[in-house]
Amino acid sequence: MLLVSAAAFAATPPERDPQLRSDAPRVYIEPHNSTVAPDTVLRMTPEFQNASYMQLHMWHTEGDFPTQNSSGGYTVVPDNGAVSRDDWGVGFAMYDTYGGGCVPAGGPYADPNTGCLMEPGSDGKPVAIYKERERWTFQHKYVDTGTKIETELPGSLYSFSYTEHTTVYNLQCFNVFPCDSFGIPLNPLPGITVAGTKLACPLKSGPGYVSTIFYQYSRYKSGNVPAGAAEWEPATVLELNGKAATYGKAIVTRHWRLAYDCGAIPNLSFNINIEYVPGTAGHGHFVSNDRSPGFDQFGNIAPSYSGTTGALNSTAPGAWQSSEITAGAYAGDFTVKATTTDPRVTNGAAVRTATGAVLFGFNGLSIFQIDEPDLMTYVQLTGDRNGPLCGYMKEDPDCEDTATSTCARIQICDNHLAVSHYGTRQLKDFIVGFASEYYLKAAKAGMPVGALGINDMSLPRGGRFDLRGNWKLGTHGTHRIGVDVDVDTRLLKADGTYAVVNRDLLEAAVTSLGGTRMPEGPIHFRMRASDIDNLLRPLTN
Protein backbone atom coordinates (compact mmCIF):
# COMPACT_ATOMS: atom_id res chain seq x y z
CA MET A 1 0.00 0.00 0.00
CA LEU A 2 1.11 3.57 -0.55
CA LEU A 3 0.69 7.12 0.46
CA VAL A 4 -0.31 8.38 3.82
CA SER A 5 -1.14 12.03 3.68
CA ALA A 6 -2.12 13.46 7.04
CA ALA A 7 0.90 12.04 8.77
CA ALA A 8 3.06 13.39 5.97
CA PHE A 9 1.97 16.91 6.79
CA ALA A 10 2.42 16.60 10.51
CA ALA A 11 5.07 14.03 11.31
CA THR A 12 8.50 14.87 12.64
CA PRO A 13 11.29 14.55 10.03
CA PRO A 14 12.73 11.01 9.95
CA GLU A 15 15.40 10.16 12.49
CA ARG A 16 18.64 9.81 10.54
CA ASP A 17 21.32 10.25 13.21
CA PRO A 18 21.49 8.16 16.39
CA GLN A 19 23.16 11.10 18.12
CA LEU A 20 19.97 13.16 17.95
CA ARG A 21 17.23 10.95 19.32
CA SER A 22 14.23 12.29 21.17
CA ASP A 23 16.01 11.25 24.39
CA ALA A 24 19.48 12.66 23.67
CA PRO A 25 20.76 16.19 22.95
CA ARG A 26 22.88 17.03 19.92
CA VAL A 27 25.97 19.00 20.89
CA TYR A 28 28.59 20.81 18.81
CA ILE A 29 31.56 22.71 20.23
CA GLU A 30 33.87 24.47 17.81
CA PRO A 31 37.51 23.32 18.06
CA HIS A 32 39.92 25.52 20.01
CA ASN A 33 41.80 27.90 17.76
CA SER A 34 42.13 31.08 19.82
CA THR A 35 45.36 32.99 20.39
CA VAL A 36 43.87 35.41 22.95
CA ALA A 37 45.95 35.57 26.11
CA PRO A 38 43.66 34.59 29.04
CA ASP A 39 45.09 37.21 31.38
CA THR A 40 43.92 39.98 29.05
CA VAL A 41 40.25 39.06 29.36
CA LEU A 42 39.78 37.39 32.75
CA ARG A 43 39.35 38.54 36.33
CA MET A 44 37.44 41.66 35.39
CA THR A 45 33.97 41.27 36.92
CA PRO A 46 32.51 39.07 39.64
CA GLU A 47 29.86 37.35 37.53
CA PHE A 48 31.84 36.70 34.38
CA GLN A 49 29.26 34.35 32.88
CA ASN A 50 29.93 34.68 29.17
CA ALA A 51 31.95 37.11 27.09
CA SER A 52 29.77 37.14 24.01
CA TYR A 53 26.12 36.60 23.12
CA MET A 54 23.61 33.73 23.22
CA GLN A 55 20.82 32.91 20.76
CA LEU A 56 18.08 30.33 20.37
CA HIS A 57 18.44 28.65 16.97
CA MET A 58 16.23 26.34 14.95
CA TRP A 59 17.72 24.06 12.29
CA HIS A 60 15.48 23.21 9.36
CA THR A 61 17.35 20.03 8.37
CA GLU A 62 20.03 17.79 9.81
CA GLY A 63 22.53 19.34 7.41
CA ASP A 64 21.95 22.75 9.00
CA PHE A 65 23.34 21.63 12.36
CA PRO A 66 26.95 22.86 12.70
CA THR A 67 29.76 20.34 12.47
CA GLN A 68 33.53 20.49 12.36
CA ASN A 69 33.34 20.66 8.55
CA SER A 70 30.43 23.08 8.23
CA SER A 71 29.17 26.10 10.07
CA GLY A 72 25.65 24.95 9.24
CA GLY A 73 22.63 27.16 8.77
CA TYR A 74 20.03 28.35 11.24
CA THR A 75 17.19 30.74 11.94
CA VAL A 76 17.28 32.81 15.11
CA VAL A 77 14.14 32.32 17.22
CA PRO A 78 13.11 35.56 18.96
CA ASP A 79 11.42 35.54 22.31
CA ASN A 80 7.85 34.24 21.86
CA GLY A 81 8.76 33.17 18.31
CA ALA A 82 7.38 30.15 16.45
CA VAL A 83 9.20 26.93 15.62
CA SER A 84 7.71 24.83 12.84
CA ARG A 85 7.11 21.13 13.42
CA ASP A 86 8.89 20.51 10.11
CA ASP A 87 12.11 21.90 11.53
CA TRP A 88 14.71 19.35 12.53
CA GLY A 89 15.66 20.71 15.94
CA VAL A 90 15.96 23.68 18.27
CA GLY A 91 18.65 24.71 20.71
CA PHE A 92 20.90 27.37 22.18
CA ALA A 93 24.11 28.69 20.69
CA MET A 94 26.75 30.44 22.81
CA TYR A 95 29.59 32.40 21.21
CA ASP A 96 33.14 32.86 22.57
CA THR A 97 32.68 31.58 26.11
CA TYR A 98 35.18 32.68 28.76
CA GLY A 99 35.96 31.22 32.17
CA GLY A 100 37.30 32.77 35.35
CA GLY A 101 36.66 35.86 37.42
CA CYS A 102 36.28 36.49 41.11
CA VAL A 103 33.54 35.34 43.47
CA PRO A 104 30.88 38.07 43.82
CA ALA A 105 29.98 39.52 47.20
CA GLY A 106 28.16 42.44 48.76
CA GLY A 107 28.39 44.65 51.80
CA PRO A 108 31.55 44.84 53.93
CA TYR A 109 33.04 41.68 52.39
CA ALA A 110 33.18 43.12 48.87
CA ASP A 111 35.85 45.18 47.21
CA PRO A 112 34.08 48.50 46.61
CA ASN A 113 35.68 48.87 43.18
CA THR A 114 35.19 45.39 41.74
CA GLY A 115 32.47 43.74 43.85
CA CYS A 116 34.80 40.75 44.40
CA LEU A 117 34.66 38.77 47.63
CA MET A 118 37.57 39.75 49.88
CA GLU A 119 38.93 37.50 52.65
CA PRO A 120 42.06 37.69 54.82
CA GLY A 121 45.12 36.18 53.20
CA SER A 122 48.04 34.43 54.91
CA ASP A 123 49.48 37.79 55.90
CA GLY A 124 46.13 39.02 57.24
CA LYS A 125 45.57 41.42 54.39
CA PRO A 126 42.34 41.11 52.32
CA VAL A 127 42.68 39.25 49.02
CA ALA A 128 40.14 38.63 46.26
CA ILE A 129 38.67 35.12 46.06
CA TYR A 130 38.43 33.71 42.55
CA LYS A 131 36.21 31.03 41.09
CA GLU A 132 37.66 27.54 40.81
CA ARG A 133 34.88 26.09 38.65
CA GLU A 134 31.99 27.28 36.50
CA ARG A 135 29.11 25.47 34.86
CA TRP A 136 26.66 26.38 32.07
CA THR A 137 23.51 24.26 31.71
CA PHE A 138 21.15 24.26 28.69
CA GLN A 139 17.53 23.38 29.52
CA HIS A 140 14.39 23.09 27.37
CA LYS A 141 11.06 22.63 29.11
CA TYR A 142 7.33 22.77 28.46
CA VAL A 143 4.97 24.66 30.75
CA ASP A 144 1.37 23.52 30.41
CA THR A 145 -0.67 26.66 29.85
CA GLY A 146 -3.57 25.25 31.90
CA THR A 147 -2.05 23.33 34.81
CA LYS A 148 1.25 25.28 34.84
CA ILE A 149 3.07 21.97 35.33
CA GLU A 150 6.62 22.16 33.98
CA THR A 151 8.28 19.25 32.18
CA GLU A 152 11.83 19.07 30.85
CA LEU A 153 11.90 17.92 27.23
CA PRO A 154 13.31 14.36 27.17
CA GLY A 155 17.07 14.29 26.75
CA SER A 156 17.37 18.04 26.20
CA LEU A 157 19.50 18.83 29.26
CA TYR A 158 23.17 19.51 28.58
CA SER A 159 25.95 21.18 30.56
CA PHE A 160 29.63 21.94 30.17
CA SER A 161 32.09 23.33 32.70
CA TYR A 162 35.29 25.28 33.26
CA THR A 163 38.00 24.71 35.85
CA GLU A 164 40.64 27.21 36.92
CA HIS A 165 43.25 24.62 37.93
CA THR A 166 43.27 21.17 36.32
CA THR A 167 44.35 18.17 38.35
CA VAL A 168 47.65 17.36 36.62
CA TYR A 169 49.07 20.50 34.99
CA ASN A 170 47.17 23.19 36.92
CA LEU A 171 45.73 24.64 33.69
CA GLN A 172 42.71 26.77 32.93
CA CYS A 173 40.41 24.57 30.85
CA PHE A 174 36.90 23.85 29.62
CA ASN A 175 35.95 20.21 30.05
CA VAL A 176 35.33 19.79 26.29
CA PHE A 177 39.11 19.67 25.78
CA PRO A 178 41.50 17.20 27.53
CA CYS A 179 43.94 19.87 28.75
CA ASP A 180 45.76 17.54 31.14
CA SER A 181 46.29 15.01 28.35
CA PHE A 182 47.88 17.54 25.99
CA GLY A 183 49.33 19.98 28.49
CA ILE A 184 47.64 22.89 26.72
CA PRO A 185 45.22 25.37 28.38
CA LEU A 186 41.83 26.28 26.90
CA ASN A 187 40.44 29.64 27.92
CA PRO A 188 38.50 31.19 26.28
CA LEU A 189 36.36 28.64 24.42
CA PRO A 190 36.23 30.35 21.00
CA GLY A 191 33.60 30.11 18.31
CA ILE A 192 30.21 28.53 18.78
CA THR A 193 28.99 26.04 21.37
CA VAL A 194 25.61 24.53 20.43
CA ALA A 195 23.31 22.12 22.25
CA GLY A 196 20.04 21.15 20.58
CA THR A 197 17.08 18.86 20.99
CA LYS A 198 14.98 17.09 18.39
CA LEU A 199 11.37 18.16 17.88
CA ALA A 200 9.82 14.82 18.81
CA CYS A 201 6.30 13.93 17.76
CA PRO A 202 4.72 13.71 21.27
CA LEU A 203 5.43 17.40 21.92
CA LYS A 204 2.27 19.50 22.07
CA SER A 205 1.57 22.33 19.69
CA GLY A 206 1.14 25.92 20.77
CA PRO A 207 2.94 28.14 23.30
CA GLY A 208 4.51 27.06 26.58
CA TYR A 209 8.06 26.15 25.55
CA VAL A 210 10.89 27.75 27.52
CA SER A 211 14.60 27.42 26.78
CA THR A 212 17.13 28.64 29.34
CA ILE A 213 20.87 28.78 29.87
CA PHE A 214 21.79 28.61 33.57
CA TYR A 215 25.08 29.62 35.15
CA GLN A 216 26.77 28.45 38.37
CA TYR A 217 30.21 28.88 39.93
CA SER A 218 32.14 27.25 42.74
CA ARG A 219 35.00 28.64 44.79
CA TYR A 220 36.14 25.10 45.54
CA LYS A 221 38.06 22.55 43.55
CA SER A 222 36.27 19.31 42.77
CA GLY A 223 36.47 16.97 45.74
CA ASN A 224 37.67 19.76 48.03
CA VAL A 225 34.36 21.20 49.24
CA PRO A 226 34.34 21.80 53.02
CA ALA A 227 31.69 20.04 55.06
CA GLY A 228 28.51 22.07 55.22
CA ALA A 229 29.57 24.43 52.43
CA ALA A 230 27.52 24.90 49.27
CA GLU A 231 29.40 23.44 46.32
CA TRP A 232 27.67 25.56 43.64
CA GLU A 233 26.30 29.08 43.67
CA PRO A 234 23.52 29.76 42.98
CA ALA A 235 22.44 26.32 44.15
CA THR A 236 20.56 23.79 42.02
CA VAL A 237 16.88 23.55 42.96
CA LEU A 238 15.53 20.10 42.17
CA GLU A 239 12.21 19.39 40.49
CA LEU A 240 9.37 19.78 43.00
CA ASN A 241 5.59 20.17 42.94
CA GLY A 242 5.32 20.37 39.18
CA LYS A 243 8.20 22.81 38.76
CA ALA A 244 11.19 21.83 36.67
CA ALA A 245 14.63 21.95 38.24
CA THR A 246 16.71 25.13 38.03
CA TYR A 247 20.47 25.03 37.74
CA GLY A 248 21.64 28.29 39.23
CA LYS A 249 21.11 31.71 37.69
CA ALA A 250 19.15 31.99 34.43
CA ILE A 251 21.35 34.18 32.23
CA VAL A 252 19.19 33.95 29.10
CA THR A 253 15.64 32.69 28.55
CA ARG A 254 13.59 32.34 25.38
CA HIS A 255 9.90 31.45 25.11
CA TRP A 256 8.68 29.78 21.92
CA ARG A 257 5.79 27.83 20.50
CA LEU A 258 5.30 24.90 18.14
CA ALA A 259 3.32 26.02 15.12
CA TYR A 260 1.08 22.98 14.68
CA ASP A 261 0.44 19.52 16.06
CA CYS A 262 2.04 16.20 15.22
CA GLY A 263 0.51 12.94 14.06
CA ALA A 264 -2.42 12.10 11.81
CA ILE A 265 -4.99 14.87 11.42
CA PRO A 266 -8.66 13.96 10.85
CA ASN A 267 -10.90 15.31 8.06
CA LEU A 268 -8.01 16.87 6.13
CA SER A 269 -8.43 17.30 2.37
CA PHE A 270 -5.31 16.84 0.28
CA ASN A 271 -3.91 16.30 -3.22
CA ILE A 272 -0.95 14.11 -4.13
CA ASN A 273 1.06 14.48 -7.34
CA ILE A 274 3.63 11.92 -8.46
CA GLU A 275 6.39 12.47 -11.01
CA TYR A 276 8.97 10.13 -12.53
CA VAL A 277 12.61 11.14 -11.93
CA PRO A 278 14.35 10.85 -15.34
CA GLY A 279 17.51 8.79 -15.53
CA THR A 280 16.98 6.91 -12.28
CA ALA A 281 17.66 3.22 -11.69
CA GLY A 282 20.06 3.12 -14.63
CA HIS A 283 17.79 4.37 -17.43
CA GLY A 284 20.00 7.12 -18.86
CA HIS A 285 18.51 7.25 -22.38
CA PHE A 286 21.32 9.51 -23.52
CA VAL A 287 20.69 8.74 -27.20
CA SER A 288 16.93 8.39 -27.51
CA ASN A 289 16.27 11.16 -24.92
CA ASP A 290 12.94 9.45 -24.27
CA ARG A 291 12.91 10.19 -20.56
CA SER A 292 9.18 10.35 -19.92
CA PRO A 293 7.84 6.80 -19.87
CA GLY A 294 4.26 5.96 -19.12
CA PHE A 295 3.49 5.23 -15.49
CA ASP A 296 2.22 1.79 -16.48
CA GLN A 297 5.80 0.77 -17.30
CA PHE A 298 6.66 0.91 -13.60
CA GLY A 299 3.50 -0.43 -12.02
CA ASN A 300 -0.08 0.57 -11.35
CA ILE A 301 0.86 3.80 -9.61
CA ALA A 302 -1.23 6.81 -10.70
CA PRO A 303 0.06 10.31 -11.52
CA SER A 304 -2.19 11.86 -8.88
CA TYR A 305 -4.41 11.07 -5.93
CA SER A 306 -6.76 13.13 -3.81
CA GLY A 307 -8.92 12.50 -0.80
CA THR A 308 -9.76 13.31 2.79
CA THR A 309 -8.33 11.71 5.89
CA GLY A 310 -10.54 9.73 8.22
CA ALA A 311 -12.68 11.27 10.95
CA LEU A 312 -11.87 10.92 14.66
CA ASN A 313 -14.67 8.38 15.11
CA SER A 314 -13.53 6.23 12.16
CA THR A 315 -11.73 2.93 12.50
CA ALA A 316 -8.51 4.62 11.39
CA PRO A 317 -8.73 8.28 12.48
CA GLY A 318 -6.66 10.58 10.30
CA ALA A 319 -5.47 7.72 8.07
CA TRP A 320 -5.73 7.33 4.32
CA GLN A 321 -4.16 4.85 1.92
CA SER A 322 -4.20 4.22 -1.78
CA SER A 323 -5.22 1.00 -3.41
CA GLU A 324 -2.54 -1.67 -3.47
CA ILE A 325 0.37 -0.77 -5.73
CA THR A 326 2.36 -3.42 -7.56
CA ALA A 327 5.63 -3.03 -9.48
CA GLY A 328 5.84 -3.27 -13.25
CA ALA A 329 8.62 -4.20 -15.66
CA TYR A 330 11.06 -1.34 -15.01
CA ALA A 331 12.75 0.03 -11.90
CA GLY A 332 12.70 3.77 -11.28
CA ASP A 333 12.25 6.61 -8.79
CA PHE A 334 9.22 8.84 -8.31
CA THR A 335 8.80 11.99 -6.27
CA VAL A 336 5.64 12.37 -4.21
CA LYS A 337 4.29 15.82 -3.35
CA ALA A 338 1.27 16.12 -1.09
CA THR A 339 -0.44 19.50 -0.65
CA THR A 340 -3.25 20.87 1.48
CA THR A 341 -4.82 24.24 2.18
CA ASP A 342 -6.20 23.20 5.57
CA PRO A 343 -5.44 26.10 7.98
CA ARG A 344 -4.77 23.63 10.80
CA VAL A 345 -1.42 22.79 9.21
CA THR A 346 -0.59 25.69 6.86
CA ASN A 347 0.57 27.94 9.72
CA GLY A 348 -0.83 31.03 8.00
CA ALA A 349 0.43 30.17 4.51
CA ALA A 350 -1.81 29.57 1.52
CA VAL A 351 -0.72 25.96 1.09
CA ARG A 352 1.37 23.38 2.89
CA THR A 353 3.49 20.81 1.07
CA ALA A 354 5.03 17.53 2.16
CA THR A 355 7.36 15.54 -0.07
CA GLY A 356 8.43 11.93 -0.29
CA ALA A 357 9.52 9.27 -2.74
CA VAL A 358 8.43 5.93 -4.17
CA LEU A 359 11.18 3.62 -5.40
CA PHE A 360 10.50 0.62 -7.63
CA GLY A 361 13.09 -2.14 -7.82
CA PHE A 362 15.13 -4.57 -5.77
CA ASN A 363 17.30 -3.68 -2.79
CA GLY A 364 20.62 -5.35 -2.13
CA LEU A 365 22.17 -5.12 -5.60
CA SER A 366 25.68 -3.66 -5.78
CA ILE A 367 28.13 -2.96 -8.56
CA PHE A 368 30.57 -5.68 -9.60
CA GLN A 369 34.07 -4.26 -9.37
CA ILE A 370 37.31 -6.04 -10.19
CA ASP A 371 39.12 -4.71 -7.13
CA GLU A 372 41.66 -7.51 -6.80
CA PRO A 373 44.49 -7.69 -9.39
CA ASP A 374 44.32 -11.50 -9.50
CA LEU A 375 40.72 -11.35 -10.75
CA MET A 376 41.83 -9.58 -13.94
CA THR A 377 43.34 -12.90 -15.01
CA TYR A 378 39.87 -14.42 -15.16
CA VAL A 379 37.34 -11.62 -15.83
CA GLN A 380 36.98 -8.21 -17.45
CA LEU A 381 33.91 -5.95 -17.56
CA THR A 382 32.44 -5.23 -21.00
CA GLY A 383 29.09 -4.28 -22.49
CA ASP A 384 28.99 -0.48 -22.25
CA ARG A 385 27.50 0.51 -25.60
CA ASN A 386 29.44 3.69 -26.12
CA GLY A 387 31.20 5.57 -28.93
CA PRO A 388 32.50 3.33 -31.73
CA LEU A 389 31.11 0.29 -29.94
CA CYS A 390 27.52 1.43 -30.46
CA GLY A 391 25.27 -1.39 -31.51
CA TYR A 392 22.11 -1.57 -33.60
CA MET A 393 18.94 -3.55 -32.99
CA LYS A 394 15.89 -4.37 -35.10
CA GLU A 395 13.13 -1.88 -34.43
CA ASP A 396 10.63 -4.73 -34.83
CA PRO A 397 12.07 -7.83 -33.13
CA ASP A 398 9.86 -10.11 -35.30
CA CYS A 399 11.12 -8.64 -38.58
CA GLU A 400 13.32 -10.88 -40.78
CA ASP A 401 15.92 -9.62 -43.23
CA THR A 402 15.55 -10.93 -46.80
CA ALA A 403 17.63 -10.76 -49.96
CA THR A 404 15.66 -7.75 -51.13
CA SER A 405 14.82 -5.93 -47.90
CA THR A 406 16.50 -5.11 -44.61
CA CYS A 407 14.63 -4.56 -41.36
CA ALA A 408 14.73 -1.08 -39.87
CA ARG A 409 17.25 -0.79 -37.05
CA ILE A 410 17.78 1.64 -34.20
CA GLN A 411 20.95 2.60 -32.39
CA ILE A 412 21.27 1.34 -28.81
CA CYS A 413 24.09 3.48 -27.43
CA ASP A 414 24.39 4.60 -23.84
CA ASN A 415 20.90 3.87 -22.56
CA HIS A 416 22.53 2.02 -19.67
CA LEU A 417 26.09 3.30 -19.85
CA ALA A 418 28.29 2.05 -16.98
CA VAL A 419 25.34 0.77 -14.93
CA SER A 420 24.80 -2.75 -16.26
CA HIS A 421 27.12 -4.62 -13.89
CA TYR A 422 25.00 -4.81 -10.75
CA GLY A 423 24.08 -8.00 -9.00
CA THR A 424 23.74 -9.85 -5.75
CA ARG A 425 26.81 -10.85 -3.78
CA GLN A 426 26.06 -14.46 -4.66
CA LEU A 427 26.12 -13.65 -8.39
CA LYS A 428 29.55 -12.05 -8.05
CA ASP A 429 30.90 -15.14 -6.30
CA PHE A 430 29.29 -17.27 -9.01
CA ILE A 431 30.97 -15.29 -11.81
CA VAL A 432 34.42 -15.46 -10.25
CA GLY A 433 33.90 -19.15 -9.61
CA PHE A 434 32.98 -20.22 -13.14
CA ALA A 435 35.53 -17.86 -14.75
CA SER A 436 38.41 -19.34 -12.78
CA GLU A 437 37.05 -22.86 -13.39
CA TYR A 438 36.92 -22.19 -17.13
CA TYR A 439 40.52 -20.91 -17.07
CA LEU A 440 41.75 -24.08 -15.36
CA LYS A 441 39.77 -26.41 -17.65
CA ALA A 442 40.91 -24.59 -20.80
CA ALA A 443 44.54 -24.59 -19.73
CA LYS A 444 44.38 -28.30 -18.96
CA ALA A 445 42.83 -28.97 -22.39
CA GLY A 446 45.45 -26.87 -24.18
CA MET A 447 42.94 -24.25 -25.26
CA PRO A 448 43.47 -20.45 -25.22
CA VAL A 449 43.05 -18.92 -21.77
CA GLY A 450 42.35 -15.38 -20.65
CA ALA A 451 39.78 -13.07 -19.03
CA LEU A 452 36.16 -13.79 -19.83
CA GLY A 453 34.18 -10.72 -20.88
CA ILE A 454 31.45 -10.11 -18.30
CA ASN A 455 28.70 -8.33 -20.18
CA ASP A 456 25.26 -7.29 -18.90
CA MET A 457 24.26 -8.37 -15.40
CA SER A 458 21.50 -6.19 -13.88
CA LEU A 459 20.74 -2.50 -13.48
CA PRO A 460 21.29 -0.76 -10.10
CA ARG A 461 17.87 -1.80 -8.78
CA GLY A 462 17.09 -4.53 -11.29
CA GLY A 463 14.06 -4.51 -13.54
CA ARG A 464 13.99 -4.59 -17.33
CA PHE A 465 16.73 -3.16 -19.51
CA ASP A 466 15.38 -0.72 -22.11
CA LEU A 467 17.84 -1.54 -24.87
CA ARG A 468 15.82 0.15 -27.62
CA GLY A 469 15.37 3.32 -25.64
CA ASN A 470 11.62 3.45 -26.34
CA TRP A 471 10.25 1.86 -23.15
CA LYS A 472 8.98 -1.19 -25.03
CA LEU A 473 9.69 -4.69 -23.82
CA GLY A 474 12.31 -6.61 -25.75
CA THR A 475 15.27 -8.78 -24.91
CA HIS A 476 17.03 -9.09 -21.55
CA GLY A 477 13.78 -10.11 -19.92
CA THR A 478 15.48 -12.23 -17.25
CA HIS A 479 18.10 -9.72 -16.03
CA ARG A 480 15.74 -8.30 -13.42
CA ILE A 481 16.87 -9.46 -9.99
CA GLY A 482 20.66 -9.66 -10.06
CA VAL A 483 21.10 -13.40 -10.67
CA ASP A 484 21.85 -13.45 -14.45
CA VAL A 485 24.95 -12.64 -16.47
CA ASP A 486 25.92 -12.50 -20.13
CA VAL A 487 29.40 -13.68 -21.12
CA ASP A 488 31.13 -12.49 -24.30
CA THR A 489 31.95 -15.01 -27.04
CA ARG A 490 35.58 -13.88 -26.95
CA LEU A 491 38.11 -13.77 -24.10
CA LEU A 492 41.05 -11.39 -23.66
CA LYS A 493 44.41 -13.14 -23.60
CA ALA A 494 47.42 -11.89 -21.64
CA ASP A 495 49.08 -10.60 -24.80
CA GLY A 496 46.15 -8.30 -25.56
CA THR A 497 44.68 -10.39 -28.37
CA TYR A 498 41.34 -12.16 -28.36
CA ALA A 499 40.36 -15.81 -28.65
CA VAL A 500 37.01 -17.53 -29.08
CA VAL A 501 35.38 -18.92 -25.92
CA ASN A 502 34.63 -22.65 -26.05
CA ARG A 503 30.92 -22.63 -25.18
CA ASP A 504 30.76 -26.29 -24.19
CA LEU A 505 33.66 -25.85 -21.78
CA LEU A 506 32.11 -22.66 -20.37
CA GLU A 507 28.77 -24.35 -19.85
CA ALA A 508 30.55 -27.22 -18.09
CA ALA A 509 32.24 -24.71 -15.75
CA VAL A 510 28.90 -23.06 -15.00
CA THR A 511 27.16 -26.40 -14.45
CA SER A 512 29.88 -27.52 -12.03
CA LEU A 513 28.77 -24.69 -9.72
CA GLY A 514 25.08 -25.51 -10.06
CA GLY A 515 24.34 -22.76 -12.59
CA THR A 516 22.35 -23.08 -15.80
CA ARG A 517 22.40 -21.63 -19.32
CA MET A 518 19.26 -19.65 -20.07
CA PRO A 519 17.41 -19.81 -23.41
CA GLU A 520 17.76 -16.05 -23.96
CA GLY A 521 21.01 -16.72 -25.80
CA PRO A 522 23.96 -19.08 -25.93
CA ILE A 523 26.07 -16.93 -23.63
CA HIS A 524 23.44 -16.12 -20.95
CA PHE A 525 23.85 -17.91 -17.62
CA ARG A 526 21.94 -17.93 -14.37
CA MET A 527 23.22 -18.93 -10.94
CA ARG A 528 21.89 -22.06 -9.30
CA ALA A 529 18.23 -22.24 -8.39
CA SER A 530 18.76 -23.00 -4.69
CA ASP A 531 20.69 -19.75 -4.25
CA ILE A 532 17.97 -17.82 -6.06
CA ASP A 533 15.31 -19.37 -3.85
CA ASN A 534 17.21 -18.31 -0.74
CA LEU A 535 17.48 -14.77 -2.08
CA LEU A 536 13.81 -14.43 -2.99
CA ARG A 537 12.30 -16.19 0.01
CA PRO A 538 12.57 -13.14 2.33
CA LEU A 539 10.78 -11.05 -0.31
CA THR A 540 7.79 -13.37 -0.46
CA ASN A 541 7.29 -14.13 3.25
Centroid of chain to Cα 235: 41
Convert the pLDDT of each residue in 389-404 to its tens digit. Answer: 455 667 777 888 888 8
Rg of the chain, C-alpha, whole Å: 34
Contacts of 440 (CB under 8 A, 6+ apart): none
Q: Which of 95, 125, 92, 129 is nearest to 114 (CA)?
A: 129
User: Cβ(422)–Cβ(366) under 8 Å?
Assistant: yes
Q: Among 32-46, 360-374, 376-390, which stretch is predicted with the lowest mean pLDDT? A: 32-46
Phi, psi of 107 (to 5 degrees): 65, -145
Which of 32-46, 59-73, 209-223, 293-307 shows the lowest per-residue confidence on average (mean pLDDT)?
32-46
CA angle 429, 434, 436 (to 5 degrees): 95
What is the structure's pLDDT at 225? 94
Torsion of CA 324, 327, 333, 335, to 10 degrees: -20
Query: Using one digit for the tens of pLDDT, what is the confidence trace for 180-195?
Result: 999 999 988 887 788 8
**What integer pLDDT is reported at residue 446 of this predicted model?**
94
Instruction: Report the pLDDT value the prediction gives residue 260, as an integer from 0 to 100.
Output: 64
Say if residues 197 and 91 touch (Cβ distance below 8 Å).
Answer: yes
* Residue 478: per-residue pLDDT: 78
Three-class SS state of 116: strand
Q: Is the pLDDT of residue 166 over 70?
A: yes
Which of 343, 344, 257 lies closest to 58 in space, CA to CA? 257
User: Among residues of the chain, what percentage have pLDDT more than 70?
Assistant: 80
> Please, which pLDDT band fits residue 537 given cuts at 50, 70 and 90?
low
DSSP-assigned letter for residue 130: B
CA distance 502 to 510: 12
What Cα–Cα distance (Å) separates residue 268 from each residue in 26, 335, 418, 461?
34, 21, 46, 35
Can you tell me the distance from the alpha carbon of 519 to that of 497, in angstroms, rounded to the nearest whole number? Answer: 29
Encode pLDDT of 58-105 as tens digits. 988 888 888 766 767 888 999 999 887 767 889 888 888 888 888 888
Helix (H) or strand (E) holding 529: helix 529-540
247: amino acid identity, one letter = Y
What mean pLDDT is reported for the chain?
80
Q: At residue 201, does pLDDT exceed 50?
A: yes
